[in-house]
Amino acid sequence: MTKRPPICTALAFALLSRQNFQRPALRAECRPEGRRTQFLAFVLLLAVALASATWAQPNRPIYPVYEGYVLNEDGTAVLVFGYYNHNSVAVEIPAGEANGFDPGPANRGQPTVFEPGRQRNVCLIVLPENYEGNLAWTLSWAGQEQTTTERGGVDPLYLIENISLAYHRAKQIDTTTTERGVCVAPPPSPTGSEP
């Protein structure tokens, strides 16, 4: 009896474990002329597996988004930020140089885990009365640096209308007790889901 090469043994196990294959097919595949075909099939399968593993790596950019701001009766403004993660998996970026605000401090309690897709209203920042500067959020990932608009802050173009979820979430924040200049987790959605 001839000894089967390892690839024939693996193929034999795979073929016999399926009910729709018969032993004659196994014998035909393990002949010397079938070994070349088996080897090419194995190489192709390995190439596909490696390509899909590389494709699944989170190597696409993450964009911070300045949603706008809400003015309160007490003169404070609540800036609303979100992000768009183009990866199919969550990505972690620690607060600091690669995930920070300008002007500083860079760490304002912003998210450090970025779920896939578009995430709205994830960071609400209460600014002091009559704040006039810009607060920009920068994220660096996959070799790309993305920053929110330079016209952020309290530019009239970014005033959030009172019909949006962001407006209602910002209005739920108690500006008398909330620390200024840090990210506050948004209150729960009234409907339990984002639009």
At 46-75, the pLDDT tens digits run 666 655 544 556 889 999 999 999 999 988
Q: Residue 122's closest CA among 86, 82, 153?
A: 82
What's the pTM value of the predicted model, to 2 decimals?
Answer: 0.68
CB 97 within 8 A of CB 141: no
Q: Is the pLDDT of residue 120 over 80?
A: yes
Give the integer Cα–Cα distance in Å for 195 and 187. Answer: 15
Residue 1: pLDDT band with limits 50, 70, 90: low
Q: Is the pLDDT of residue 121 over 90?
A: yes
Give the integer Cα–Cα distance in Å for 80 and 84. Answer: 14
Give the integer Cα–Cα distance in Å for 94 and 73. Answer: 35
Cis peptide before 103 (omega within 30 of 0): yes
Give the integer Cα–Cα distance in Å for 179 and 166. Answer: 19
Give the integer Cα–Cα distance in Å for 85 and 61. Answer: 7
Q: According to the model, what pLDDT value does residue 20 have?
A: 47
